Amino acid sequence: MEKQKLVLVGNGMAGVHCIEEIIKLAPDQFEITIFGSEPHVNYNRILLSSVLQGRESIHEIILNEREWYAEHQIQLFTGETVKKIDKEKHVVKTDQNREISYDHIILATGSVPLLLPISGADKKGVFTFRTIEDCKRIMEASKRCNKAIVIGGGVLGLEAARGLLNLGMDVHVVHNGSFLMERQLDQTASKMLQKVLEEQGMKFLFEKETNEIVGKSGVEGVRFKDGTEIESELVVMAVGVRPNVQLARESGIATNRGILVNNFLETSELKIYSLGECAEHCGIVYGLVKPLFEQGKVLAKRICGQPTNGYVGSILSTQLKISDVKVFSVGNFSETESSKSINLYVGPGGDYKRLVFQDEKLIGAVLYGDIKDQERLLEMVVNQELVPEGDEWTLFQSRKEKENPIVSMPCNQIICNCNGVTKREIINTVQKNGLTDVNQIKKYTKASGSCGGCKPLVADLLSYIQSDAFDEPEERESSMCDCTLLAEEEVVREMQVQDLSSLQGVMDELKWKNKQGCTTCRPAIHYYLTMINPEYVYKHKDLFDPLGMHMILQVNNFTCNCEKQSSLDLAGDLEKRFEFLLTPSKVKITISACIHNGPDTIKNDLVVIQMERGWEIYVSDLYEQSSGGLLCIAETNQIAIEMISVFIQYYRESANFMEQIGKWLEQVGLIHVREVIYDDELRQQLLERLDEEVLIRKKLLEKSY
């Protein structure tokens, strides 16, 4: 089959990460061309501040050497900018008069640094801090300059200022706000941070608006709107960035602040996609690496034609990359009328923690000093875990000094949020490859290779693995069965990619070691063939246990005098709706007319209970733990049927054969499932696919009789 032509405009972290995901999913599907305006291979822009501070070299922040591009037969053009997209001819044109045709094009043009529109901004000695070239020029200028001003008291400005201090310069940070990092910290944490940075030699000017940069040919100082001035020989502007949308806008692609994209990162034009700092999703432009990587995974599946639930947005967290300063924040940490905050403050120079709650859930946090709980709190915010009234203070309880938090951390907990690397994955990789340092772990797993915030945690985990106290065995990903080396997900993917339609065809094409299969793989393959092609089951009816792969409904109405008819009606409607559907494993649904039915109510996969406000729908495995098992609330029978239908269809599409709902939820997470069923677009798509399949199966069944 002829390869499709895929062009990536932008050789940065977001775009190339998406290409890496595409190569994993479909290594032979595309002929890939990448254009990068900078004269470099793909590098970690986030760690430029570490280069300026002397903690990393430029070579150490390279993510993909030229050998990687060659290995994957990627045509790379560096130092070359795409200037035009001809949508009619499906051709891109560059500033070097090169024309390349495409079937798909990804716009990952990133962002450009903001320059204040003031007099003198073009003088020699004024720098932005965005690229390797910027970093090199600042380092070179520092050799002949003594005084520097950084305009901007955000994360980038402070990291740049720390680098200039390390280069031996006298540094002032100018900020138009009243305290540092006001988007990432509350005032208390900010003032604590300011005190430490002042002790390191940094100086600050607050509530200052720059009017002009003075000097003859080069920078001699900065004048503010209040009439005051300060001397300087070097100015770094770190006042923010704006999405680079020029190419998209000039090509007739819809833009606002960024390039407008839907949940599948599709732009207004067919076969043209966008992600990263140039893309605007639901009114938000993301500049942190974790959201950009999440977008890349979704887009890779979309382009490769594989099922995806789409991108639903990200919860942001921040960690400052300055030596001897530990600061972390996540979510919404500003208190409102509907939220409450609890603060723990251990005096000047000590630790500070602020936790913000709403509806018994942690929605935001700020940590200063002691940030070892950052991963736990981030996970709680993302998963919307319940914290019962009165238990909030337990989150402040410190671990014992001798207790290593990495030991008690669950193996499935994510260590590196940017790249989604778990504790178990790092353990397996270290054991399998005999790794002995953090840089090796970064090379193999990418953990700590993006923002670098998890590097101390990775180092702690490595020390634990190398210690006598370590007793967690390697856990390898298992294959579907002994007949193949492929995992179940890989088998399904190959069945779809190669359009395999028979049991023997699957075993032949995927090189089964046992050509007859076994009692594990044969029924699984039959099931997946049926899910891909509904007609398959009616050609092989003898292979399926009708009670083993369907739904069983139970109505509990035995213990009180509450009205029962509505629960009977709902059960009847659900039974009709799911009559012709197969599921990965048997699904049991309990419907109760009220809460009075006692412990028997919570024994099945889904529990539907009638309350005054309508139907409360629970995942039974979680029901006893707290209302954390609540899937949703439906005001009417119709809404209940719709929500249950979406839940079941999503389970059918994403669970493995014979994977029960409880096990499936352990993998995907209840919070993620809630996000899916409450997303209007995703919910409608799932319902349409379910309705279409029910209709097909019903017609096929009628024909078979």
Scored b (16 or more CB within 10 A) or e, 81-118 reads: bbeebeeeebebebeeeeebebebbbbbbbbbbeebeb
First to last CA, the chain: 40
Q: Tell the burial category of 71 from Cβ atoms under 10 Å away from its Cβ (0-12, 13-18, 19+).
A: exposed
Per-residue pLDDT for 17 more than 90?
yes
Q: How far apart are the C-alpha atoms of 566 and 570, rounded to whole Å?
A: 6
Report d(CA 101, CA 85) in Å as an integer. 10
Picking from 8-17, 86-95, 385-394, 569-578, which range would have the lowest pLDDT averaged per residue? 385-394
What number of CA atoms fall less than 13 Å from residue 593's CA on the CB side? 15
Question: Are 126-239 and 551-704 in the same CATH fold?
Answer: no
CATH topology of domain 4-111+242-303: FAD/NAD(P)-binding domain (3.50.50)
The answer, yes or no, to whether residue 401 has pLDDT greater than 60, is no
Number of neighbours of residue 123 by Cβ within 10 angstroms: 17
Instruction: Tell me the sheet residues that pair with 352.
Output: 345, 368
Which 8-state DSSP code applies to residue 453?
A: T
Residue range 490-496: mean pLDDT, rounded: 83
3-state secondary structure of 392: helix
With bands split at pLDDT 50, 70 and 90, how would you rate the model's confidence at 703?
A: low
Model pTM score: 0.66
In three-state secondary structure terms, 652 is helix
Residue 626, pLDDT score: 38
Q: Is the pLDDT of residue 682 over 50?
A: yes
Where exactly are the structural domains of the chain? 4-111+242-303, 126-239, 488-543, 551-704
**Count of beta carbons in the 10 Å neighbourhood of residue 1:** 5
- On the question of pLDDT at 402 being above 50, the answer is no
Integer angstrom CA distances of residue 326 from 222, 320, 366, 450, 640: 31, 7, 11, 18, 47
CA 218, CA 230: separation in Å to the nearest integer? 15
| Half-sphere exposure (Cβ direction) of 28: Cα atoms closer than 13 Å | 5
Report angle CA 677, 299, 288 to the nearest 5 degrees.
90
Q: Tell me which residue of 570, 571, 539 sits closest to 697, measured CA to CA.
A: 539
pLDDT band at residue 662 under the 50/70/90 scheme: confident
Q: What is the CATH number of domain 126-239?
A: 3.50.50.60
25 or 253, which is more confident: 253
Cα–Cα distances (Å) from 590 to 551, 555, 594, in that order, read 11, 6, 12
How is domain 551-704 classified at the CATH fold level?
A: Sulfite Reductase Hemoprotein; domain 1 (3.30.413)
691/206: higher pLDDT: 206
| Residue 474: per-residue pLDDT | 55
**Two structure tokens written together for 670:** 């209840």
Could you tell me which residues come within 8 angstroms of residue 361 by beta carbon, excluding any fewer than 6 positions away?
Answer: 384, 385, 386, 387
Band of pLDDT at residue 64, cut at 50, 70 and 90: very high
